[in-house]
Amino acid sequence: AVEEHMAYFDGLVSADKRIEPRDAMPEGYRKTLIRQIAQHAHSEIIGMQPEGNWISRAPSLRRKAILMAKVQDEAGHGLYLYSAAETLGMDREEMLDLLHAGKQKYSSIFNYPTLTWADAGAIGWLVDGAAIMNQVPLCRCSYGPYARAMIRVCKEESFHQRQGFEILWVLARGTEEQKAMAQDAANRWWWPALMMFGPPDSGEQAKGGHTAQNMAWGIKRFTNDDLRQKFVDMTVPQAQKLGLTLPDPDLTYNEETGHWDFGPIDWDEFWRVLGGDGPCNAERISHRKAAHDEGAWVREAAVAYADKQAARAGA
Ligand code: 3HC
């Protein structure tokens, strides 16, 4: 029977159909999805912090309303991603415990600080831009609940990307100080945004990696390097429109390949940040834990209310 189930799973994958929670699946498939979806959910929740930092200091009421809506969208994304992970048999409480204990990851990018208002623009433009490039193919991920969650997430991310671009557009056409602020933000976020796609496909820095297996399972549709290249090709013309330069002297258009070539990425920095030693790792986790502890009464109240409703229904 196990063999029959696995043949059914393989059949769904090779026919490019969706796997649903009721279907039998290899343990490795379930584990890798829990790892990726939990990591993705945590990224959305931790990702609220760098931009949340600017809500109270946004330069106008309109900017503040937009930024608040955007940060709330990230919370919503986190919540449906936790729900998607729960369909694989993992409890939300457990995922949060693993995050707080440093046993599940979140994206490297959220360990960098937001020093000026222009960073809200650079995050929207570059970080959400990179997130969309990575997440649009996930709408075709073989696991149904994850793929479906990605559809709405991607729509909202495109709005986020545009609002970030527009923040920088206005700054880049402002005073000399504002232009300098936009340029400084682009300088600081460019390389970490390229690292978001994960380690290179080959060479010493690849360090094993899940790509080949995840592509065979229809979880990943493109390799990390392919998505990174697509992102560079999309973003360079946008930087030119903004009138900002990207901090890479090696960035050149390659007539032969039709792609933008770029310089080497500092993978030591990437692994350092993953290891917990980025500029804001400690601050992000301690803020997250404090928010969790301060929210304990809300969770207790919700449980008490649910118990009361259940008791009434039973009476
Ligand atoms: N940050 C932290 N860890 C990363 C990483 C990054 N940017 N890129 C790769 N890694 C980790 C992997 O998790 C893996 O470690 P593990 O085995 O301990 O889990 C290791 O580095 C090797 O990487 P692989 O490429 O082999 O791993 P994957 O096949 O899982 O690919 C990925 C990595 C492309 C990031 C993939 O997991 C993915 O597509 N995830 C979903 C997207 C996501 O998580 N996005 C989060 C950032 S964007 C966002 O949250 C939206 C924003 O608007 C708030």
Contact yes or no for 140/147 (Cβ under 8 A) = yes
- Please say if the pLDDT value at position 1 is more than 80: no
85-121 pLDDT per residue, tens: 999 999 999 999 999 999 999 999 999 999 999 999 9
What ipTM was predicted for this assembly? Answer: 0.98
In 3-state terms, what secondary structure has residue 60? coil
Helices (H), 53-139: 61-86, 92-100, 118-122, 129-135
Across 179-207, average pLDDT: 96
Whether the CB of 49 sits within 6 Å of ligand 1: no
CA distance 65 to 73: 12
pTM, to two decimals: 0.96
Task: Give the chain's count of helices (H) and strands (E).
Answer: 14, 2
Contact yes or no for 182/246 (Cβ under 8 A) = no
Whether the CB of 205 sits within 6 Å of ligand 1: no
Distances (CA, A) of 156 to 72, 135, 203, 204, 241: 11, 12, 35, 36, 23
Burial class (CB in 10 A: 0-12, 13-18, 19+), 231: buried
Helices (H), 117-261: 118-122, 129-135, 144-172, 176-195, 211-216, 224-242
Ligand 1 midpoint to CA 101 (Å): 18
Residue 120: predicted pLDDT:
98
The two tokens of residue 60 are: 């106008």
Q: Which residue's alpha carbon is at the smallest distance from atom 45 of ligand 1?
A: 40
Ligand 1 midpoint to CA 107 (Å): 6
Atom of ligand 1 nearest to the CA of 43: 50
Ligand 1 midpoint to CA 108 (Å): 8
204-218 pLDDT per residue, tens: 898 888 999 999 999
Q: Which residue's alpha carbon is at the smallest distance from atom 47 of ligand 1?
A: 107
Q: What is the DSSP letter of 18?
A: P
Q: Which residue's alpha carbon is at the smallest distance from atom 3 of ligand 1?
A: 107
